[in-house]
Structure 1
Amino acid sequence: MKIALQTFGSALFSILFFGLALFVPAGTVDYWQAWVFIAVFVVSTIGPSLYLAIRDPAAMQRRMNAGPTAEARPVQRFVVAGVVLLVVAMLVVSALDHRFGWSSVPAPVVVVGYVVVAVGLLLAQLVVIQNRYAAATVTVETDQPLASTGLYGIVRHPMYTGALIMLLGTPPALDSYWGLVAIPPGLALLALRILDEEKLLVDQLAGYREYTGQVRFRLLPFVW
């Protein structure tokens, strides 16, 4: 029950966070793209989160222990803090773009943005269902098994792939192209996180070095 309440609390926090980051810079609540985006985010995350809260509370707890202060490695604290700032910047720039009309996003492209956001979020959630040790922090637990099948048989970090997909869809979903300027520095931070994380995994997770030889791509198939 406690973890389920925490899950609902997390959903309420998301609504508040997105509401402040979008409606304040937009200068209005008459911003239908933002309302639909928030609804897509909540619907795409609440179902899988409740499933985990009921079926595997420990896995859900690993996902909720997040943020820069939860990281043990200095590089990861820097990366997570940078990602948080970039996400906020992406949302604010997208809302300002909508307010001042810097770019014009056709409604069909906005809808595609919603689909991309939902796909990215659901992919990230599916990773946790496939690998209950997929935490929000970079860590290796005692007797943690190596995940090498399912999505992990395609890329080594499918959760980050889902996060990247979601971020790519976010600005168009919010009626903005200018918000996409946050993607290149976001990719740089994501690459730094992955490279540092793999150092830890090679050292501490049994079989990971051999796994990197079997699954060549870290983030995007046939790219990297």
Structure 2
Amino acid sequence: MIARLIVQTVLWLAGMGAVLFGAAGTLAWPGAWCYLFEMGALGLWVGVWLARHDPALLAERLGSFIQRGQGPWDKFFMVCVAVAWCGWLVLMGLDARRFDWSSMHPSLQVVGVLAILVSMVAMRSVFRANSYAAPVVKIMAERGHKVSDSGPYAYVRHPMYAWAILFLLGMPLLLGSFWGLACVPLLVVGLAYRAVLEERMLCAQLAGYEEYAARVRYRFVPYVW
């Protein structure tokens, strides 16, 4: 499992690096190198922790983004995410390095590093509370799928998405792209749309979820939404 984690992490980083540096037209991009290093280190840290504490969840998270049991709408959503993610990386490469449209103060890039760090550390608390936090939307009946309502799930129904917002904010800051930052609201809308569809499925197919949703009122941010 650890070997698979390392291989997939290296391939994922290599793919992102190819898109970022290809769009930038140069390898002389400290922000991108810092991002790739931080993602590699934090990703392996969380992955090794999962391998020790919840190998079944790690196996789920290392799986394909298109899986059996996943609804057609989520398969389509994940394809759209892949396209949007690549487009976002290209935009930030063009903006921050190739054409230098943005000029971001280094202090904001430090904020980006910290935002990514906080979001990834917080993700571990999400995985600790929810052994069914797969990257795709599906009911894992073979694993005894049940409602998770402890830890961060006691406050919001989708803490993984909530912390993902902080990650999405930190990434363009670290890479030095204001145009990338301007795209974040659109990405958040996409997450919100998926959360609504996911809840419809969970209410219909997962025992106790409708009662949980009535008890925990907010999806992403307490007292906001």
Asked if the contact 2:203/2:209 (under 8 Å) is kept, the reply is yes
Paired letter, 1:92: V
Asked if the contact 2:125/2:151 (under 8 Å) is kept, the reply is no
86 and 70 in structure 1: CA distance in 2 versus 1, 3 angstrom threshold: farther
Match of 2:187 in 1: 186
76 and 170 in structure 1: CA distance in 2 versus 1, 3 angstrom threshold: same
Aligned-partner Cα distance in 2 for 1:45–1:193: 23
1:76 is the counterpart of 2:77: no
Paired letter, 2:193: L
1:4 is the counterpart of 2:5: no
Aligned-partner Cα distance in 1 for 2:69–2:192: 17
* CA root-mean-square deviation: 1.6
Match of 2:86 in 1: 88
Aligned-partner Cα distance in 1 for 2:69–2:181: 27
Aligned-partner Cα distance in 1 for 2:152–2:64: 22
Instruction: Give structure 1 regions of 4+ aligned residues with deviation exceeding 3 angstroms.
Output: 68-71
Aligned mate of 2:12, from 11, 14, 22:
14
Identity of aligned residues (%): 33
In the TM superposition, what is the alpha-carbon distance from 1:35 to its structure 2 partner? 0.5
Asked if the contact 1:146/1:207 (under 8 Å) is kept, the reply is yes
Aligned-partner Cα distance in 2 for 1:180–1:86: 14
Match of 2:153 in 1: 152
Paired letter, 1:175: G
Residue range with higher mean Cα deviation, 67-76 or 93-102: 67-76
Aligned-partner Cα distance in 1 for 2:164–2:66: 17
Aligned-partner Cα distance in 2 for 1:64–1:163: 18
Match of 1:174 in 2: 175
Asked if the contact 1:124/1:160 (under 8 Å) is kept, the reply is no
Unaligned runs of 5+ in 2: none
Match of 1:111 in 2: 110
Match of 2:37 in 1: 39
Residue range with higher mean Cα deviation, 106-115 or 73-82: 73-82
Secondary structure of the structure 1 residue equivalent to 2:134:
coil
Asked if the contact 1:82/1:189 (under 8 Å) is kept, the reply is no
Aligned-partner Cα distance in 1 for 2:132–2:151: 14
11 and 123 in structure 1: CA distance in 2 versus 1, 3 angstrom threshold: same
Match of 2:26 in 1: 28
Aligned length: 222
Residue range with higher mean Cα deviation, 64-73 or 107-116: 64-73
Match of 1:55 in 2: 53
In the TM superposition, what is the alpha-carbon distance from 1:126 to its structure 2 partner? 2.6
In the TM superposition, what is the alpha-carbon distance from 1:186 to its structure 2 partner? 1.4
40 and 71 in structure 1: CA distance in 2 versus 1, 3 angstrom threshold: farther
Asked if the contact 1:140/1:205 (under 8 Å) is kept, the reply is yes
Aligned-partner Cα distance in 1 for 2:69–2:193: 14
Residue range with higher mean Cα deviation, 200-209 or 61-70: 61-70
Aligned-partner Cα distance in 2 for 1:107–1:34: 13
TM-score for both structures, normalised by structure 2: 0.92
126 and 28 in structure 1: CA distance in 2 versus 1, 3 angstrom threshold: same
